[in-house]
Structure 1
Amino acid sequence: MTTTGSPPADGALAGLGRSCFRRRRLVLLTWIIGVIAVAFVGFGHGAAPDNDFSGGGSQSAKAQKLMARHFPQEQGDRLTLAIRTDRGIDHPAVRQKIEKTITALADSPVTGPVTSPYQDDTLVTDDRRIARTTIPLSAKEVEKSEVKPLVDLVKDASDDNVTLALGGYMAEKAETPPQGPVESVGIVAAAVILFIAFGSLVAMGLPIVTALLAILGGLALIKLVGHLVPAPDFTVAFGAMVGLGVGIDYALFIVTRYKDALRDGDNPEHATVKAIATAGRAVLFAGTTVVIALMGLVVMGQRLMTGVAAATSVAVLVTMIGAVTLLPALLGFTGHRINAMRLPRRTPRREQRPGAAPGSRRPAFAERWAGVVQRRPLTAALLAGTSLLVLSVPVLSMRLSQPDASVQPHDRSSYIAYDILSDGFGPGYGAPLVFAAETGPGNTDLRTVVHAVARTDGIATVTPPRTSEDGQAVTFTAFPTTGYQDEATANLVHELRDDVLPRTPGGEHVLLGGPNASTIDAADEAASRLPLMIAVVIAVSMLLLIALVRSLTIAVQAAVMNLLSIGAAYGVVVAVVQWGWLGPALGFPTAMPVTTWVPMMMFPVLFGLSMDYQVFLISRVREEYQRTGDTRLAVARGLAGTARVITAAAAIMIAVFTTSLLGHDISVKQGGLGMAVAVLIDATVVRMVLVPAVMELCGKANWWMPGRRTPKTTATEPPAEVEEAVRV
């Protein structure tokens, strides 16, 4: 017999859950047709990625615009052929191979005229062992699939006598393998965690199916949103990682509440309505928090980061909508079969404490652990806080940059080219500094500036100045003695701009640009705007939390704890990526600065996710406090009631984020590592130690709100039981 249990909840969400449950065939069919249609349009006609981070009002951006106006023939991507041979390039067999390779490259439909190193001695080192030549790409936009055959051609031409390698941005992109099925590893790990948590294959499958269908539609929409708000090429991988993680977590919360309602005697429809009205409300709040936090990236003032924020927000919104519409429809199909195909388990015996009343329960581990922390709250808070601060120390030395050939795996052609060119022409060859100025007709003499730049410490060589065809501008290039990722190169750029050029006659009108200067400008701008973005995200998230839990104290606690956990994650990323601790073991070929966009993206995503867990825990604590009137017992029971779900949700997030380390995009791997560490810290140190310790220290002040009294309680439990419940 089907029991009816408690009456179904009322409200808009309850009505939505009921409607989706009753019209489950229509809802499922609509989702399937809609996702197929969006996927067809999005993946077939989506916008191409935009990787130009040089926009804005930086000096490098102004230099690039000047070069585009007056030196249009020099715009566009270029490849560099690097040559190394112990025999010397003039050896007959070596020369034959080099000339054959250059001819094949020049004959490609995507390349322009190629100058042979045999025609220009400046392209060859004095010992004639290393040479180079530049290969312009004929089209403004060349697909990496068109460049890959050129990379393979050069690789195949190498032998024991001569090493040939192709470098340049497009070569680097062309030989970087796609992320591949790394997300599938995260899905498998999430499925295992869900199976352990639910003990049922059916219950395990519902969050997976919901998340996969939603993320497929979300990724297709990301491609379409790119037509309105351009975004870089890592956006899809990052959006998939975040969307998959939150999608499974949101479905997990709802399925857990549904199973609880069935266990309490509700029929499937009432259980679905109750799950959507309660857990669904938390999901909507959680998703909204993540989206609002992501839109904090708009404060950074970088158009591509705005594109990343919009695209990732779309992925989160679709998974959130799927959780409150598609999932209740799927629950309508499963009904009581949610527990079908169960994992064999021994039925645990109910343990009874010595001296306890017959039938009384033994507190769960999380509840007993909370009791341990609450007996020494100050010590626990100090130990946890200190450990997080120690982990955050590396942040003080964080440097931002963009990956280049020097940080790629050492078997890649782009790295081999970098190594050859650095050996032959100096490490600064890959970090050229482009100087440009509009001079007007008859006034194109920048020799004084050229000499001043050449005499600057840190400059290896300077090319002669060149005048544009229209006679309106002059440009020259300087090569530093240090490489693209070296801090000394960034310091040199600042010195040239702040000291050398302003003090040199005519230098005040000269702009310093180039790819390296553009990267430095983007890093400086990100570092200067990051505190503002953090402040905006914290402020908006605190307002949302205050509106939900009606407590200023808890909102402040959440903000501080989230800052500590994210700071610790930043510190771990710096230690691994920049300092090189365990870097090779985790897939980072060499020590390198943190990618500029990684801390910008990590903060809003992690702050939103941490706020989700905080809301889930504090909502249960508040319920217990209103029922018992005792903060200590409320925290202990709230922790016990949510520990299993939060632990499973965090484990899924960690699994999904960690799988990014199996991919090939170094920047995405940095972001995945940082977010996995942050979630791990949040689910352990913060939720299991800091929250119970700090709430114990605050007592009734936890519920303080200006102009509002402490919430009334309906305590029914005697003080003796309160003491007994938190005693170990």
Structure 2
Amino acid sequence: MTNPLSSLAHRTARWCALHPWRAILGWVAFVAIAVGLATMVPTQDATDADYRMGESGRADALVARAGFDEPDTEQVLITAARGDLDQAAAQRAAAEVVAGMNALDGVEAVADPQVSPDGSAYLVSVQLARDQSDVAPLQAVTGDVAADFPQLSVRESGDVSLDGAIGERVGDDLGSAETISLPLTLILMLLAFGALIAAGIPVLLAGTSVAATIGLLAPLSHLVHAEDTVSSMIVLIGMAVGVDYSLFYLKREREERAKGHTTRDAVEIAAQTSGHSILVSGFAVICSMAGLFVVGDTTFNSLAVGAILVVAVAVLGSITVLPALLSKLGRWVDRPRVPFLHRALAGTKRGAVAGRVLGPVTRHPAAALALSLVVVVLLAVPALGMKTHGANLETLPSSVPEAKTMQDLSRAFPSEGTTAELVVRAPASEQAQVAAALADVEATAQGSALFQASGTPVEVSPDGTTSILILAMPFEESDARVDDAIEKLRTTYAPRALDGLDAEYAVGGDAAESYDFVQREQSRLPFVIGFVLLLTLLVMGVTFRSVPIALISAVLNLASVGVAFGLMTLVFQHGWLEGALDFSSPGFVIDWLPLFVLVVLVGLSMDYHVFVLSRIREHVQRGLPTRLAVRQGVADTAGVVTSAAAVMVSVFSIFATLSMLEMKMMGVALSGAILLDATLIRLVMLPAVLCLLGDRVWWPSRRPVPLGERVDEREFELV
């Protein structure tokens, strides 16, 4: 029976090969129109309301509904440059800061200087005017005061300056990553093909796919609001799958031409084989990324839309413009050749290196499987103790001056650090009762070991219906006691004091938002894993008509994910390689990363998993016994898988060198897991399991439907 996916890839590639200029110009027009959409349709970014969830989301909605005036604030921190603080000098410096800030037009109000509880720091809070977004004049005042008092450290940070500094650092990081990744990918492609045109085609296809996706995302953002990081994720995923798909197709087309087929025949054969694998793996990646929708979070929804779209565009390009280009270029795709490199690649026997590994694996599959399982389990076990928490001041790079200032400020002034907000909405006529109840909550909370005085009075909305009580916690935000404090406030202190009042209340704030996000993620993580694994089972089962293949694919994906989680836990929670990677361990993994890494890793690893299994099935269909088909199929695809994995590992490794901790975590987890997946898991575990099962791996059928006459097994024996 003809496979509908293979037939679709074949028919599409055949038409594009027969009408190359139409296909090429059609692709150029598609990309141009997509990019043009981004200039005509403004992108709808996610708003604060989009991120609301749980009780903290209700608290934020109550604050927004009450119309509280929350202008941006800048903070000036004064400490000793070295040794003990000179109190007289600090007081004079604080007075100069107050006077200088008051003289600026964009400043609404300047608070009196505050002294830290231990007397080691002074703080001046500056409230900006409603429309003020330029803090350069304020920073100039801070700089002048710092110059006048060299014995003091006078630094500024705040809502605008910190956001600007972090945004600039993220932009610089991503810009440098993209600058490095493109030439690095091209170099790896040159090493894979030994010819400039062949090396440039995968990079060109991936780049145009990314550009088209970013353009298409603009109108789609009005349905699913775009998150800030989605463009970076599109570049990351788009370059990985775009290069992979081109590699699969181009390598097979060159292989068939080397056997004596014409260019058009080689393109058609590549379409029937690699083209089919691209469609299956693309669909598998899309299914995996769709698992992010299960969480029901704005960030994950936006990332899912971007990832699904870029994979779909890359698949479209791979089965349309790629065969058209190959048909038009013919043997020119192998020009201009890189001196010496092309000859060295031509002289290298296909599968020679992999054959040396596969020989012992296929002869002793049980031992190979046992040893590889030990390695995987050892790397995955630390994930059992993984702790997650939202990104906070601790995870910001101290190399950003504004971040370091805010970290020092939160330690010196606990009320400016970890806090919880109890928001109460009640009729204005009950304002007195609400005030008394909040006073009771504050007294009870401060009498416990979980809270301390914040020094901030209760704030009441202009209409007298909404009140906000801020409670400080003497812990770092990632401390487990913060979660206990929030839960205690929600379940005991607030209900007991507000019981009997006609009031709506909720506990919010940054710490509560992180707590609610982790709770939702942990509650839905099993559903995401189940969703991704179920779709993996269905896709692989339907594609290969084999229950064992589906189960093996799911188990191997779990092994890769376990390794990724284990690496994140060891490196970032326990602080391994802190010096080498230049970071300070926060003692946890940032909450959104495990889910993101899960779906990305499963999706990307399915690319070459499908490719390898498809080649193995080809050999079985031609009459080889399963053991020999496994050995030959893995050897045939080893070069392509190695090249594809090298691109992904290299790109993700670049992210591990960036300053933002989220990027480091993602880079380490994905690069390490993909490296192990492409070597130990796919080169040892997969063939070992397949050899142990033999023909039973194709159950419920005995063997795949043959493609033609049986072949002589001796033609496929490896050295």
Q: Same fold (TM over 0.5)?
A: yes
Residue 322 of structure 2 corresponds to which residue in structure 1? 327
1:417 aligns with 2:413: no
1:599 alignment partner, SS class: helix
Are the counterparts in 1 of residues 564 and 673 from structure 2 also a CA contact under 8 Å? yes
- CA separation in 2, counterparts of 1:617 and 1:333? 28
Q: After TM superposition, give the deviation of residue 572 of structure 1 in Å.
A: 0.5
In 2 relative to 1, CA 197–57 (structure 1 residues): closer, same or farther, beyond 3 Å? closer
Could you report, residue by residue, the CA deviation over 1:112-155 in whole angstroms, capped at 9, with x for unpaired residues? 5222324xxx566573742131534625xx87xx4577567645
1:633 alignment partner, SS class: helix
Which stretches in structure 2 are left out of the alignment for 5+ residues?
Answer: none
Residue 399 of structure 1 corresponds to which residue in structure 2? 387
- CA separation in 1, counterparts of 2:585 and 2:145? 27
Are the counterparts in 2 of residues 89 and 129 from structure 1 also a CA contact under 8 Å? no
Equivalent residue for 2:463, pick from 459, 470, 484: 470
1:180 alignment partner, SS class: helix
- CA separation in 1, counterparts of 2:185 and 2:543? 29
- CA separation in 2, counterparts of 1:450 and 1:675? 46
1:17 aligns with 2:8: no
- CA separation in 2, counterparts of 1:506 and 1:196? 71
Q: After TM superposition, give the deviation of residue 296 of structure 1 in Å.
A: 1.1
Could you report, residue by residue, the CA deviation over 1:283-304 in whole angstroms, capped at 9, with x for unpaired residues? 1221121112111111112133
Equivalent residue for 1:81, pick from 72, 76, 80: 76
- CA separation in 2, counterparts of 1:700 and 1:409? 54
Residue 280 of structure 2 corresponds to which residue in structure 1? 285
Residue 228 of structure 2 corresponds to which residue in structure 1? 233
In 2 relative to 1, CA 222–597 (structure 1 residues): closer, same or farther, beyond 3 Å? farther
- CA separation in 2, counterparts of 1:633 and 1:165? 69
Could you report, residue by residue, the CA deviation over 1:160-187 in whole angstroms, capped at 9, with x for unpaired residues? 2443333345433311221213123122
1:165 aligns with 2:165: no
In 2 relative to 1, CA 568–347 (structure 1 residues): closer, same or farther, beyond 3 Å? closer
Residue 369 of structure 2 corresponds to which residue in structure 1? 381
| Number of equivalences | 693
In 2 relative to 1, CA 538–423 (structure 1 residues): closer, same or farther, beyond 3 Å? closer
Residue 494 of structure 1 corresponds to which residue in structure 2? 487
Residue 684 of structure 1 corresponds to which residue in structure 2? 679
Are the counterparts in 2 of residues 621 and 638 from structure 1 also a CA contact under 8 Å? yes
Q: After TM superposition, give the deviation of residue 476 of structure 1 in Å.
A: 0.7
Could you tell which deviates more after superposition, 210-219 or 73-82? 73-82
Are the counterparts in 2 of residues 23 and 329 from structure 1 also a CA contact under 8 Å? yes
Equivalent residue for 2:545, pick from 526, 550, 557: 550
In 2 relative to 1, CA 13–65 (structure 1 residues): closer, same or farther, beyond 3 Å? same
In 2 relative to 1, CA 252–383 (structure 1 residues): closer, same or farther, beyond 3 Å? same
1:305 aligns with 2:300: yes
1:253 aligns with 2:240: no
- CA separation in 1, counterparts of 2:309 and 2:679? 30
1:158 alignment partner, SS class: helix
Question: What letter corresponds to residue 28 of structure 2 in structure 1?
Answer: I
- CA separation in 2, counterparts of 1:403 and 1:665? 10
Are the counterparts in 1 of residues 97 and 142 from structure 2 also a CA contact under 8 Å? no
1:318 aligns with 2:317: no
Could you tell which deviates more after superposition, 611-620 or 679-688? 611-620
Residue 424 of structure 2 corresponds to which residue in structure 1? 437
1:471 alignment partner, SS class: coil
1:181 alignment partner, SS class: helix
Question: What letter corresponds to residue 487 of structure 1 in structure 2?
Answer: A
Which stretches in structure 1 are left out of the alignment for 5+ residues?
Answer: 1-8, 352-360
In 2 relative to 1, CA 150–575 (structure 1 residues): closer, same or farther, beyond 3 Å? farther
1:133 aligns with 2:125: yes
Alignment of 1:101-250 (within 5 A): 101-103=100-102, 106-108=104-106, 113-118=108-113, 122=114, 127=119, 129-136=121-128, 138-139=130-131, 146=134, 154=142, 158-159=146-147, 160-176=150-166, 177=169, 178=171, 179-250=174-245
- CA separation in 2, counterparts of 1:93 and 1:147? 23
Question: What letter corresponds to residue 607 of structure 2 in structure 1?
Answer: D
Are the counterparts in 2 of residues 190 and 652 from structure 1 also a CA contact under 8 Å? yes
Could you report, residue by residue, the CA deviation over 1:203-222 in whole angstroms, capped at 9, with x for unpaired residues? 11111111112211212223
Alignment of 1:352-391 (within 5 A): 364-391=352-379
Alignment of 1:268-667 (within 5 A): 268-343=263-338, 344-345=340-341, 364-426=352-414, 429-440=416-427, 441-442=429-430, 443-444=433-434, 445-446=436-437, 447-462=439-454, 463-504=456-497, 506=499, 510-667=505-662
Are the counterparts in 2 of residues 77 and 136 from structure 1 also a CA contact under 8 Å? yes
Residue 68 of structure 1 corresponds to which residue in structure 2? 64
In 2 relative to 1, CA 148–273 (structure 1 residues): closer, same or farther, beyond 3 Å? farther
- CA separation in 2, counterparts of 1:91 and 1:135? 21
- CA separation in 2, counterparts of 1:522 and 1:275? 46
Are the counterparts in 1 of residues 361 and 684 from structure 2 also a CA contact under 8 Å? yes
Q: After TM superposition, give the deviation of residue 696 of structure 1 in Å.
A: 1.8
Question: What letter corresponds to residue 127 of structure 2 in structure 1?
Answer: I
Could you report, residue by residue, the CA deviation over 1:674-703 in whole angstroms, capped at 9, with x for unpaired residues? 211221111011011111111122222211
1:435 alignment partner, SS class: strand
Q: After TM superposition, give the deviation of residue 709 of structure 1 in Å.
A: 4.4
1:278 alignment partner, SS class: helix
TM-score, normalization: structure 1? 0.88
Could you report, residue by residue, the CA deviation over 1:635-685 in whole angstroms, capped at 9, with x for unpaired residues? 111111111111111111111222223444432332232211221111011
1:58 aligns with 2:54: yes
Question: What letter corresponds to residue 208 of structure 1 in structure 2?
Answer: V
1:38 aligns with 2:56: no
Question: What letter corresponds to residue 559 of structure 1 in structure 2?
Answer: A
Are the counterparts in 1 of residues 6 and 276 from structure 2 also a CA contact under 8 Å? no
Could you tell which deviates more after superposition, 667-676 or 695-704? 667-676
- CA separation in 1, counterparts of 2:261 and 2:92? 84
2:467 alignment partner, SS class: strand
Residue 355 of structure 1 corresponds to which residue in structure 2? none
In 2 relative to 1, CA 561–238 (structure 1 residues): closer, same or farther, beyond 3 Å? same
In 2 relative to 1, CA 430–91 (structure 1 residues): closer, same or farther, beyond 3 Å? closer
Could you tell which deviates more after superposition, 326-335 or 80-89? 80-89
1:588 alignment partner, SS class: coil
Question: What letter corresponds to residue 479 of structure 1 in structure 2?
Answer: A
- CA separation in 1, counterparts of 2:276 and 2:401? 52
In 2 relative to 1, CA 15–209 (structure 1 residues): closer, same or farther, beyond 3 Å? same
- CA separation in 1, counterparts of 2:19 and 2:88? 75
In 2 relative to 1, CA 170–455 (structure 1 residues): closer, same or farther, beyond 3 Å? same
- CA separation in 1, counterparts of 2:386 and 2:129? 36
